[in-house]
Copies of this chain bind each other. A is one copy, B any other.
Amino acid sequence: MHIKIDNLSDRPVYQQIIDQIKRDIALGRLAVGDKIPPVRQLALDIVINPNTIAKAYRQLEQDGVINTRAGSGTFVAEIQNTLNNESRKVLVCNQLELAVVDAVHTQVAQKELTNWFSEIAGRYYGRSNKI
C-alpha cells in the first residue's frame, strides 16, 4: 500500500490517509479481507506519528470501511452502505457541486469537465467491484 502525504495540503494528514485508503478500496487495489499495515509500520513508512495513523484507522473503522481486531490487526471490510438514498445523494451531490463550482470559477469548459468526470468514473467503475 502506497500512501503519500502532502504536507502543504490544507487537508489534515489523518484525512489524507483516510482518503487514500478509501480510494484504494474503491479502485479495487485493496480487496475485502486484505490486511492493511499495522499502525506502527505505516507510521515508520510515511514518517508520521503512530497516533495520527491510529486516528485515521479509528475513523475508517467507525465508517465501516475497515475492521480492527485488537491483537491481530486491521482488515478491509466489505463495502456496505448504511445511508438511505436521500443521505447518500446529498453527500455525493454536495461534493460534485463543489467540484463544478470550482470548474466554473477556473473557467473549465463544460465539455472538458464532463470528459474528466467520465474518465474518473470509468477508472472506478470499470472494474471487478461492480455495483
Q: Which residues of chain A have a CB within 8 Å of any CB of chain B?
A: 7-8, 12, 19, 22-23, 25-26, 62, 65, 67, 69-70, 79-81, 83, 88-89, 91-93, 95-110, 113-114, 116-118, 120-121, 124-125, 129, 131
Chain B neighbourhood of A96, CB < 8 A: 96, 99, 116-117, 120
**A7, A25, A131 pick with most chain B CB within 10 angstroms:** A131
Shortest C-beta distance, A22 to chain B (Å), equals 5
Task: Assess the B7–A67 pair: CB atoms within 8 A.
Answer: yes
CA A22 to CA B100, docked complex, whole Å: 11
CA A92 to CA B23, docked complex, whole Å: 16
Task: Assess the A8–B67 pair: CB atoms within 8 A.
Answer: yes
